[in-house]
Structure 1
Amino acid sequence: MPLLASSLLALGAFALSAEAGLSQIDHVVLFMQENRAFDHYFGTMAGIRGFKDPNRLQAPGHKPVWYQDVDSSLSNDTDSLLPWYLNYLGGDWVEATQCMSAGDNGWNDNHAALNDDLNNKWALNNTPWSWGYYKRSDLPVHFGIAEGWTIGDMYQESVIASTNPNRVSWASGSINAPGSPQTPDEGGITIDNNETPGCEGTDLNCYPLKWKTFAEYWEDAGVSWQLYQDVDNFDDNPLAWFQQFQQASNTSALGKKGMSFLGLDKFYEDAKNGNLPSISYIIGPAELSEHPPYQPKDGGWLQQQIVNAVVNGKNYDKTALIISFDETGGWGDHVVPYHSPKNTPGEWIEDPYSKLGDVYTGPGFRLPFYIVSPWTRGGHVFTERSDHISQIKFVEEWLASKGKHVVTTQVPAWRRAHMSDLTKAFDFSKTDLSIPNIPKADTPSLDSKGVWNGYAVCEAAFNVTRPPVPYGKQTEATSLVTESGFKSVRGQLTEGRYLTFEASGYALGVAGSFVVAQRATSKHNSKSQRWVIHQTVDGGQGAAEVILSSAVDGRYLAKGNRLTSDKSRAQGFKIVDQGNGKGYTIQATSGQHLGISRARLCTSKTSWNVFSVTY
């Protein structure tokens, strides 16, 4: 086998510390859309945790998670439903499904679909349409933005519930579950969209809320910020649900920055002229929010306007735009949520509706998520477990790099310790100001008064917007479709992908019963070089302890660089992202590093490049 150098060219000269890198950013833009799930939008995308997930759940006595339970109340043709392409019939359905809805986005139905982490009741306890998905042809702008920069494939909703609890988490870091830093009289636990003064139960869904938002910490610290919204904001401004903002005068800082209606045109103008504040919130109008039945293609147009304003603006070289969604909207996702152990303070509650018993509030199902910036350009996948609190943690880390200690005390302890701060999604060793070629979105429809009306036009054109469910007509080959390709990986590794590990033109490969060094391929498509990680010890926000299996036959990497079918003999590793383009180290639990010199474990570190592949 080829002999490889045990170390790569020194990268230190090109790499900056995370703090020095973060300080290059002067402006952070936080833009949140509505009600879509990750599989529903991106399950078919190449190089991400999608429909080729090698770690997909298969609980004992159950089919793989792809097969959602079906009974005679839905169909007599089958007992299960695979993920299905919503436009499988073609024709008018391609347009009609743009204004369709799936299921319910509330606490009860989504927990019922999750079914105690078996995640197998989407068809029965939500709807069979919840298990439907789009492809690139339906979402060309979304795919273009996500793949032009960096997509996160383990970003989760903060609460297994509807819009308000998730946006409250985004704005403040908590929903005040028992054990959170807040007191019950500051609003009680928030798991529903109640906006009627008072409470729905004892310390349950009280309105207005009273604990301190993150924006108030910025204000106290003298950090400039502004929420941009039109008068039509779909009631999506979470600051408006807090008493201190409701009582703020129009001339006060909270009133002017958090409650005024400057309009998105003002954001476009400020971005163009270099006048954005340090932190911007973007709240879009209802018709462009992507909340079913509002159309994804209209939301894609809005996303493109925001992206264009940022990347063509005067200070793009100092700006990071984070695009996220608040919750799933009743669309399903196959990944069982990463969450805290039972009875963790601030995370678990006794279901106030007396249906679920002891249950965790979140984090919940995965959502679409991507970061646009000169340091995330190039089609990467960020693999760390994240949620809306991650955006708060990122801003904290960024402000610290600017010499400002602005840390909210409102975030529950487990969430702060275990969810990503997003910093490793960035590579600050280089700045790439190029702009990808993204398909141009069609301008949404306007009525005679200049009001967006795409949904109304769509609904008027099609009497039925939900296609027939393909009961009994599915196979895995036709349902679990995935584009072929790869993405370079950023962040601490999590399960759910086929991975290649490469250094100096060589890859970690399999030959017979041995792990060897093989020539890497330009498309990273050699099956003998494909690996799957299996977490054995949770690392929280850091690197987990994992074992590796080969995609060739499932055998595990063991000591002596041998393969074994005995999982108990597998060698444990920690695979650490060194950040800022320095690659990954692979260290055995024995303390030795895996270097690529005849693929032997060696004490000198090797910096590996990691790719997530789907072939």
Structure 2
Amino acid sequence: MRALLGSALVLLLGASAPATAASLRDIQHVVIFMQENRSWNHYFGTMAGVRGFNDPNVQVNADGRPVWNQTVTPSMSSATDTLLPWYLGYKDTSDALAAIQCMNAGSNGYTANQAALNDGLNNMWARNNTPWSWGYLKRSDIPIHFAIAEGWTAGDMYQESQITATNPNRVTLVSGSINVPGSPQTPDQGGPYIDNNETPGCENNNVNCYPLKWKTIYEIYQAAGVSWQVYQDTNNFDDNPLAWFEQYQNASDDSPIAQRGLAYLGLDAFYAAAANGSLPEISFIVGPAELSEHPPYMPKDGAWLQKKVVDAVTKSPKYDSTVLMMSYDETGGWGDHVTPFHSPQGTPGEWMEDPYGYFGQIFTGPGFRVPFYIVSPWTRGGRVFTERADHNSQILFLEEWLEARGYEDVRTPEMVPWRREHMSSLVNALDFSRTDTSLPDIPDAEAPLMSGGKYIGTATCEATYPVQRPLVPYEEQQSETLHVEQGFKEVIGDLTEGRFLVFEADGHALTNAGGRGTSKITQSKAQADHSDKHQRWVIHYTADEESGIFHVSSALDGRWIGKKGALVSQQAQAANIKITFLGNGKGYKVAYTDGFALVGGKREYRIWSVTYL
């Protein structure tokens, strides 16, 4: 009777019936699209509601300086000894804003990035890479990137897989390893692959042995009967990692792995397949060099390609069963303030002795954060996904999804075990309690300049603006260097540090009323824009940062939540609070570790990440 009444009400009100809750097995198509060489801070450090330049948990080193302050030597400038993040378009002229589109920052290589990391201090981007590495863009420079990331769900703790250049990161995307000692592979299968070597043989120190010989995920999927296809043009910037594996190099032209993994079908074939609903289960897009966003190739040209891909997916008759994952392979010499989450020293397949003799024992990854967002009917709505992830996470997602669809033997044995155990599968980024195929407004994209069938936008930019790099503002650093937009995003996924959070339930929010005599947390009416500072909190890791157990402090006055709802002045008095993501629209359970509610009996909350000054 209840079901009949509900249907009648829907008809009477003229509304559409709510969609039945979906699940992983309802996804029919996954599209993997990886761009080149940009860091999270460089693109999205200013974005509201994410872990960016408003990070309340920013790392402070032993010298008392947060990692915002990058070391500057006297040879670089006599005006300062540190450099704050700075807006590359600070001169605010049309020529300056146009020129930074085609500028380089620094090196994306292994040595420069390990040197910038500086044994975890993460304070040598300006000195050991370049001062431009610490520069960033704003929404006005990359409006389409912002619109896509905010129209759906962005992952602000998605890390490059390896602290180095393109090839090792893309190899990880398709195989789960670069064969660091202790990996599932044997030494004669190639690697440890820590640079872009494509010359047969090994370097003198027995690294970067090429070609690679272990199995990729696509061979596993092929054997399991999964349909897949690489879509690429002949101008693919050598960005198809399958071409670096011996078994693909030796495959006959009519073999399935050659036809699906190495053929040059062109991106037009992808657009056509999306339009007629005939995409394979897995599509892997490799774009042309000039649209890759690899400096000096321009973000605005890459934006045009991204919008083409997004439009193809969202206008497809199969959009209601498609997930598009958009990522970047590595940082490209652009810095990020979050010191990489990584394994304990000595973890097999993760740590090795620096073969060049500079750094001693190093972890090869995961590395610095890169932009990442998921376009689908289950990620719509401007959310931020907060789980620790890297390129292995896309493999983990594919495995869970394929198993949900009934496939067997799709889990790769080649992935380094620590990554399988500690990286997100990305499944929590999708809310299957609601299927939303509405589309956000995405600005029109300016088509890249072409001549004779070739893209010439970057070449034209470089010719028009011979000096692309702006002067480094050593003498003009102001608070505006840490520019952030104001606003909020709903949080989804297991929580990590780095954001101001608002906890809301039944129209009320967890509150520190402030003022003398206020000794306990309370509840007060939630604000539509989640902007009340009395309701703003910061989480802090306890001994195990993966446990989901946090200490919680108030953004209003720095006091901590103690036992029985008390507000206490010292972290030593803070209570352990367990925050558990419930998934699929259910929000979070927030309670003391003994199960008691923080206040008012409420244990289930929606959480918002907010950025307000």
- Quickly name the TM-score band, shorter chain normalised: over 0.9
Q: How does 1:283-298 map to 2 (within 5 A)?
A: 283-298=286-301
Structure 2 matches for 1:467-482, cutoff 5 A? Answer: 467-475=470-478, 477-482=479-484
Structure 1 residue 430: Cα displacement:
0.9
Normalization by structure 2: what TM-score? 0.95
| Aligned-partner Cα distance in 1 for 2:422–2:170 | 20
Aligned to 1:185: 188
One-letter amino acid matched to 1:224: S
Cα offset, 1:156, TM superposition: 0.2
Q: Distance in 2 between matches of 1:142 and 1:99?
A: 17
The separation in 2 between residues aligned to 1:251 and 1:347, in whole angstroms, is: 37
> Could you tell me which amino acid in structure 2 is paired with residue 523 of structure 1?
D
Is the CA contact 2:19–2:435 (under 8 Å) kept in the aligned structure 1?
no
* Cα deviation code 1:142-181 (max 9, x no counterpart): 0000000000000000000000000000010001111110
What is aligned with 2:418?
414
Q: Per the alignment, in what secondary structure is the counterpart of residue 469 of structure 1?
A: coil
For the 8 Å contact 1:84–1:479, the answer to whether it is kept is yes
Structure 2 letter corresponding to 1:69: T
CA distance in 1, matches of 2:20, 2:588: 16
The answer to whether residue 89 in structure 2 is matched with residue 87 in structure 1 is yes
Give yes or no for contact 1:187–1:203 (8 Å, CA) kept in 2.
no
Letter in 2 for 1:536: T
CA deviations on 1:214-240 (whole Å, 9 max, x unpaired) are 011100100000000000000000000
Distance in 2, Cα, partners of 1:563 & 1:343: 41
Following TM superposition, the consecutive aligned residue runs of length 4 or more in structure 1 with deviations greater than 6 angstroms are: 14-17
SS of alignment partner, residue 222 of structure 2: helix
1:606 partnered with 2:606 = no
Secondary structure of the 1:324 match is strand
Alignment of 1:128-207 (within 5 A): 128-207=131-210
**Structure 1 residue matching 2:591: 3-state secondary structure:** strand
CA shift for structure 1 position 539: 5.6
Report the AA paired with residue 498 of structure 1.
F
- Counterpart for residue 8 of structure 1: none
Kindly state the Cα deviation for residue 568 of structure 1 after the two structures are TM-superposed: 1.3
Aligned to 2:128: 125
Q: What's the offset of the Cα at 1:206?
A: 1.0
TM-score (norm 1): 0.94
2:9 is matched with none
Alpha-carbon offset, residue 589 of structure 1: 1.9
Q: CA RMSD in A?
A: 1.4
Quote the Cα distance in structure 2 between the aligned partners of 1:510 and 1:503: 15
Between the aligned partners of 1:272 and 1:62, the Cα distance in structure 2 is 56
**Rounded Cα–Cα distance in structure 1 between residues aligned with 2:446 and 2:468:** 20
AA partner of residue 72 (structure 2): V
Specify the code of the residue in structure 1 equivalent to 2:286: I
- 3-state SS, counterpart of residue 579 of structure 2: strand
1:273–1:314: 8 Å Cα contact kept in structure 2?
yes
Q: How far did 1:440 drift? A: 0.7
Residue equivalent to 1:4: none
Q: Which SS does the other structure have where 2:273 is aligned?
A: helix
Deviations 1:179-202 (A, max 9, x none): 110111000310000000111135
CA contact (8 A) 2:229 2:261 kept: yes
The match for 2:574 is 570
Match of 2:30 among 28, 31, 39: 28
| Aligned equivalent of 1:519, options 525, 538, 545 | 525
* Distance in 1, Cα, partners of 2:449 & 2:75: 39
Match of 1:558 in 2: 562
Distance 1:532 1:438 in 2: 32
How big is each residue's C-alpha offset from its partner over 1:12-34, in whole Å with a ceiling of 9 and x where there is no partner?
A: xx9999xx611110000000000
Q: Which residue of 1 aligns with 2:437?
A: 433
Q: Paired residue for 2:489? A: 487
Q: Does 1:248 align with 2:254?
A: no
Q: State which drifts further: 409-418 or 371-380.
A: 409-418
Q: CA deviation at 1:606?
A: 2.9
1:253-278: CA deviation from partner (whole Å, max 9, x where unpaired): 01100000000000000000001000
Contact residue 424 and residue 579 of structure 1 kept, 8 A = yes
Shift in Å, 1:611: 0.2
2:402 corresponds to which residue? 399
Tell me which amino acid in the other structure corresponds to 1:339.
H
| Percentage of pairs with the same residue | 59
- Partner of residue 448 from structure 2, selected from 444, 447, 458: 444
Offset of residue 587 of structure 1:
2.8
> Which amino acid is the alignment partner of residue 487 of structure 1?
K
Give the corresponding residue for 1:7: none
Whichever residue aligns with residue 432 of structure 1, its letter is: D
For residues 81-109 of structure 1, give each alpha carbon's deviation from its aligned partner in whole angstroms, at most 9, with x where no partner exists.
10000000011111001000000000111
What one-letter code is carried by the residue in structure 2 that aligns with 1:442? E
Distance in 2 (alpha carbons) for counterparts of 1:54 and 1:573: 18
Q: Which residue of 1 aligns with 2:467?
A: 464
1-structure distance, mates of 2:606, 2:156 = 18
CA distance, structure 2, for counterparts of residue 199 and residue 313 of structure 1: 46
Distance 1:532 1:16, change over 3 A: farther
Cα pair 1:585 1:593 within 8 Å, conserved: no
Q: For the residues of structure 2 that align with 1:404 and 1:578, how far apart are their CA atoms?
A: 26
Once residues 510 and 200 of structure 1 are traced to their aligned partners in structure 2, the CA distance between those partners, rounded to angstroms, is 60
- SS across alignment from 2:400: helix
